[in-house]
Chain A
Amino acid sequence: QVQLVESGGGVVQPGRSLRLSCAVSGITLSGFAMHWVRQAPGKGLEWVAVISYDGTNKQYAESVKGRFSISRDNSKNMVQLQMDSLSAEDTAVYYCARGVDRNYYGMNVWGQGTRVIVSS
């Protein structure tokens, strides 16, 4: 059974950093694009970042560009999201999601999410 488990969330002060991890079990990460998607309390889904199946291509939402960095380690079946210069607007549940394939046309496996609260 394919499972994605996010970790690393918590309460952090504005301006500080946090690193989220997504551990994948049940299937290899290789060959699939990996995404981070967030959802602020009571709001809709907001895409954050994607990394290509081989890690060579990374794309970011404008709202996090320059502050967040996505990475992957296919040998460890793990994806990470480094989040710097956090602000209250980054408060959300962060989901790791696997692409349907190496393209960016859908996400068919999602983790349970990890909550990030940015507050002083």
Chain B
Amino acid sequence: GAVVSQHPSRVICKSGTSVKIECRSLDFQATTMFWYRQFPKKSLMLMATSNEGSKATYEQGVEKDKFLINHASLTLSTLTVTSAHPEDSSFYICSAREATGGNQPQHFGDGTRLSIL
């Protein structure tokens, strides 16, 4: 089945550091990838839709300059949390849809646990 790899799985860093998270579709091409944030005991909140070769589409309330998204190829999207602060600590999950059209389900990575000290 379709596999999405997310790296790193866990990051602990100091306040003010920028952190990059990678999301790769391993065995399929994904024109669109999605970045979610999951708060404790809460559902997933869509942050942005990452489009290959174009700018990401951010959801309302998500800071574009804070969460930089780059989708440079059909198999890779990156999320960079710039100048991270403790309130950015969360579980970030990416997903990807196969570029075959129609109603394909999203396939999720294993998530990245970000902890800002």
Partners in one complex: no
A interface residues with partner B (beta carbon < 8 Å): none
